[in-house]
A and B are shown apart, each in its own frame.
Chain A
Amino acid sequence: MEKFWDLYADKNWVESFLVYSIAIFVLGSVMMFLTLILIRYRRIHRQTLVTEYQVTIEAILMGVMFSDSIYATMVNDATIAKLFRSRLFRDTLMEGTLNLHRNYEGQYAQKLEKFYAESHLIRDSFEKIKHRNWAKNCQGIEELAEMEVGQAFNTFVQLSKSKVRPLKIAAIKGCIKLNGTQGLGHLVRHKNLIDTWTQLSIIHALKKGDIETTKGIDKLLTSSNKSVVSLGLKIIQALKLSENTSAVINLHSKTENLMIKTEARRVMEKLENLN
């Protein structure tokens, strides 16, 4: 203590403090400046690599789809095998595969799914959904859902209970992608609030998902979670599911929650206008 007091009393600390602070600030500025240059360099380098990879990837995927090329033959080529070990290459390949899968159906889509499994891209996706980082989980869900990997459904259901909003949304959308409206059934037992943004994301996924059947939506109206009931009502209104009119009328007459009652009445009016 005495030492500190002496240091304070002889005023030299002010000078030392200023000199050291200036040095730290200068060092900080230089470090940040160098980081900035490094980021720019890496961005450019990465972009160059991605552009290069895309040429190879295009050839690979075209081969898979139209020439029945298979992964086992591809990796006989040492250069390709080496590329497959690169994380950036695999990420770019994953992106390319998913993009193509979005645009093709039938046998072409199936060939891509087969390649996705054989090339172990599927393993990358499963690793992502088991990762501790929720952003990785979201990526994995999007990949597995797009490639229609049914065995991931139960994991999606578990992840849909997350309190992290984007993860919850991605997981529910994944469930819809894999199982249509049946994929929403588990929400009846959902404990947490499903906010309006999440509800609209679900509705958007249903609209975009080319859902074959809309059975089971009325079950959402039986949930004790009011936000799930509200979601059910919104889905019925947005998708114009007039076959659920009786369920909505039933809800309207039984519920004591004023907000749900109002929403149910609005949906009833909308459905009535349809007829």
Chain B
Amino acid sequence: MLDTFTLGFELSWIIEIYLGLILLYAVTIMGSYMVLGYLSVIELKDYLTRNSFVNYEVLLSSEFAPRLSLIAPAYNEGLTIEENVKSLLSLNYNNYEVIVVNDGSKDNSMDILIKTYDLEPVEMELDIKLATKPVRGLYKSKNQAFKKLIVVDKENGGKADALNVGLNIAGNPYAVCIDVDCILDKDSLLKLAKPFMENDGKRVIATGGVVRIANQCVIKDGRLIEVNVPDRMLPRIQVLEYLRAFLLGRMAWERLDGLLLISGAFGAFDKEIAIQAGGYNTKTVGEDMELVVRMRRYMLENKLPYTVSYIPDPLCWTEAPESVNIFKKQRSRWMRGTIETLFIHKKMFMNPKYKILGIISVPYWTFFEFLAPLIEFIGVVITLVFLVLGLLNWKLFLLLLLFVYVFAVMFSVLGLLSEELTYHKYPKVRDFLKLLGAAIIEPVYFHPLGVYSSLLGYWEKMRGKKTWGEMTRQGFQKK
């Protein structure tokens, strides 16, 4: 009798503690979202006011504009490479070169490039600073119209390896690393280059731009001419997700100077620092985040004043996965990248030597990006156990569920409001209603799918998976 009583008493305490911790975690994560959202809105407002007086023509024809090297790794991009390279060559900027790195494609990418751009092999003295897979050849165009273009043919070594080859070859002090299949805004380089010149005693080591979803948008001659919200629910919710992440997340980290991630799809780096920090890590699938963390760590460890800048303008448009299978692969890879980066830089965790990065950014990513799916999963399992044991307090459970759901919807609406107040890229009422519908569905459809994909990422990481996995794309809607 006594034992049953003791057991019951202890169990009830365990449940209490468990519920308390879950509530504390939920409140902390929501609180952090709200704080980040608030900071983002302030930063966005500030940026837009400042930007309204900026004349980018200043850079367009200036001989003093920062010299940029665009590095675009390509693997089996034969279907779109001709048009994509053409659009890269026609950006509004003066001092830049385009380096397309063919990462051992198995298709006819190289043949298409040679034929379209009238390429011929050239001898170039390479100053190899980063070890990479062997380079088979370097090509330049015989046609003066394509004098900005350099094509590198190399053995397959993955995206990070291809980017390192690009860094070795880049002749300019700033490297802009992009996904070759992204659609760039015509003025994207002008906007990306500007922060490098705003040096208030701190060296700007990297700048990143906002990435938006281009599914169902209309593309003409490699340029985005009409923005639409996708009809399919999965990419549609990703539109909303990107709005929240970029407008309500990264801007806040920029304000705090604690940004850990610049999207691999479009980011610019101070080449010298990127090389000194060791270039892209070929052993991780999260090479974009890992490089930013390593560059920042390098600057902090060498006590060099620096900053990382971020531009909220939608500069780069990419295709989001439309099928659940591709989405799962992408998200599990993102999770593996996060785990690998946090593990490589575990020394920074809660380490005041790394300032805001060590005290806030890395712990935030650890608790709210890396551990969140696991905590949610454990929550679901324990809830099921309570259900089976008949211990579940239904009223409290439903209230907690509603609490989380309503918060998620509110945060999405805040994302939509920020977009409306800033860039207003979705003016059609139909598109706006589609996004609002997505906000209502997101917590019950997309979020669980994201959690499941992240758990897959844990599993794949434990099994030692190191590859990216095939990322089949549908292709953009063309006019």
Contact = CB atoms under 8 A, between A and B. Distances in A.
Interface of A: 14-15, 18-19, 21-22, 25-26, 28-29, 32-33, 35-36, 39-40, 43, 135, 138, 165-166, 169-170, 193, 195-197, 199-201, 203-204, 234, 237-238
Interface in B257-304: none
Nearest to A192: B200
Contact of B403 (A18, A29, A33): A18
Interface in B382-438: 395-396, 399-400, 402-403, 406-407, 409-410, 413-414, 416-417, 420-421, 424, 432, 436
B334 to A, nearest CB: 28
Contact of B410 (A25, A169, A170, A203): A25
Interface in B147-201: 194, 197-201
B143 interface: no
B6 to A, nearest CB: 20
Nearest to B65: A200
Contact of A135 (B49, B57, B410, B436): B49
Contacts of B402: 18, 22
A33 B432 CA distance: 11
Given A14-B23, A165-B198, A204 B58 contact: yes
Contact of A25 (B65, B400, B406, B416): B406
Given A195-B200, A204-B55, A22 B399 contact: yes
B62 A204 contact: yes
Contact of B59 (A35, A36, A200, A234): A200
15 contacts: A15-B395, A15-B396, A18-B396, A21-B407, A22-B399, A25-B406, A25-B407, A43-B424, A135-B53, A138-B53, A166-B50, A195-B198, A200-B58, A201-B55, A203-B64
A137 B19 CA distance: 54
B396 A200 contact: no
A201 B23 CA distance: 53
Contacts of A165: 50, 198
B54 interface: yes
Contacts of B407: 21, 25
B63 interface: yes
A204 B198 CA distance: 16
A13 to B, nearest CB: 11
B325 interface: no
Interface of B: 19, 23, 49-50, 52-55, 57-59, 62-65, 194, 197-201, 395-396, 399-400, 402-403, 406-407, 409-410, 413-414, 416-417, 420-421, 424, 432, 436
Given A36-B432, A197-B197, 18 more contacts: A14-B19, A14-B396, A15-B396, A22-B402, A25-B403, A32-B414, A32-B416, A36-B417, A39-B421, A135-B49, A135-B53, A165-B198, A166-B53, A197-B198, A200-B59, A204-B55, A204-B58, A237-B63
Enumerate the 3 nearest inter-chain pairs by beta-carbon distance, A residue then B residue, closest first: A196-B197, A197-B197, A25-B406
A16 to B, nearest CB: 10
Contacts of A35: 417
Given A14-B23, A29-B413, A195-B197, A200 B64 contact: yes
B59 to A, nearest CB: 7
Contacts of A14: 19, 23, 396
A36 B49 CA distance: 20
A135 B49 CA distance: 7
A170 B49 CA distance: 13
A237 B50 CA distance: 28
B420 A36 contact: yes
A33 B437 CA distance: 12
Interface-centre pick from B58, B62, B64, B194 (highest chain A CB count, 10 A): B58
Contacts of B64: 196, 199-200, 203, 234, 238
Nearest to B193: A197
Q: For chain B, what secondary structure do more than half of its interface residues adopt (helix, strand, loop), or is it mixed?
A: helix
Contacts of A40: 420
Contacts of B399: 15, 18-19, 22
A28 B432 CA distance: 18
Contact of A200 (B53, B197, B395): B197
Given A193-B200, A197-B194, A170 B58 contact: no
Contacts of B403: 18, 21-22, 25
Contacts of A32: 410, 413-414, 416-417
Nearest to B402: A22
A26 B421 CA distance: 21
B119 to A, nearest CB: 32
A11 to B, nearest CB: 8
Contacts of A195: 197-200
B197 A29 contact: no
A201 B58 contact: yes
B65 to A, nearest CB: 7
B205 to A, nearest CB: 16
Contacts of B19: 14
Contacts of A138: 53
B63 to A, nearest CB: 7
A14 B27 CA distance: 12
B57 A204 contact: yes
Given A36-B417, A195-B200, A197-B198, A18 B55 contact: no
B224 to A, nearest CB: 22
Contacts of A199: 64
A22 B404 CA distance: 9
Contacts of A166: 50, 53-54
A146 B275 CA distance: 47
A209 to B, nearest CB: 13
Nearest to A26: B406
Contacts of A197: 58, 194, 197-198
Nearest to A139: B53
Nearest to B429: A40
A247 to B, nearest CB: 20
B406 to A, nearest CB: 4
A221 to B, nearest CB: 17
Nearest to B63: A238
Contacts of A22: 399, 402-403, 406
A220 B417 CA distance: 48
A194 to B, nearest CB: 11
B42 to A, nearest CB: 15
Contacts of B421: 39
A29 B52 contact: no
A199 B65 CA distance: 11
